Amino acid sequence: MNNRYIFHLSIPVSDPDTAKRFYVDVLGATIGRESDEWLDVLLWRHQITLQRRPSEVLPLEQQGKRHFGVVLPWSECERLANHLKNLRISFLSEPEVLLKGTPEEQAKFYLTDPSHNIIEIKAYRDMSTMLGQQDGSYRYTKD
């Protein structure tokens, strides 16, 4: 039996309506449950709860290493980077390919949502090797 688990993350935002527009219009999320104080966005087949918590929103320079992200298939990562460029979205770190031609080759970029939550988008040419799973147990699925 192949189980598919949904990862859940809750993050603070200054304004749920502004955050909703960003996650839906820019990143392609769909909306789950909503209230006046929070909403669930379904993004990359996972659930992110955007909590109205303006006092917990940190300026970008105070974020440190805190971020969340996704590992996408290579072509999907490229499509998303191009989509964001076409929308003139500012990148925190421009799309780049690291370690070209090696087993560790990867593409990545960073951006922030309107509340300065840092989002890392990346892709690996050989995901199993990069995740230390030579048995091929990590695969992208459509279910």
- Residues 4, 29 within the same domain: yes
In tens digits, what is the pLDDT along the chain, a chain of 143 residues?
567 788 999 999 999 999 999 999 999 999 999 999 999 999 998 999 999 999 999 998 998 889 999 999 999 999 999 999 999 999 999 999 999 998 889 999 999 999 999 999 999 988 776 666 555 555 555 54
Is residue 129 within 8 Å of 103, Cβ to Cβ? yes
- Per the structure, how many domains does the chain have? 2
- Residues 72, 116 within the same domain: yes
- Residues 46, 88 within the same domain: no
pTM greater than 0.85: yes
- Residues 69, 131 within the same domain: yes
- Residues 49, 65 within the same domain: no
Cα 15 from Cα 53, distance rounded (Å): 8
- Residues 28, 87 within the same domain: no
Q: Indicate left, alpha or beta for 69 from its phi (over 0: left) and psi (-120 to 50: alpha).
A: beta
Q: Which of 54, 77, 95 is the last residue of a domain?
A: 54
Give residue 23's domain range: 1-54
Q: What is the CATH number of the domain that holds 109?
A: 3.10.180.10
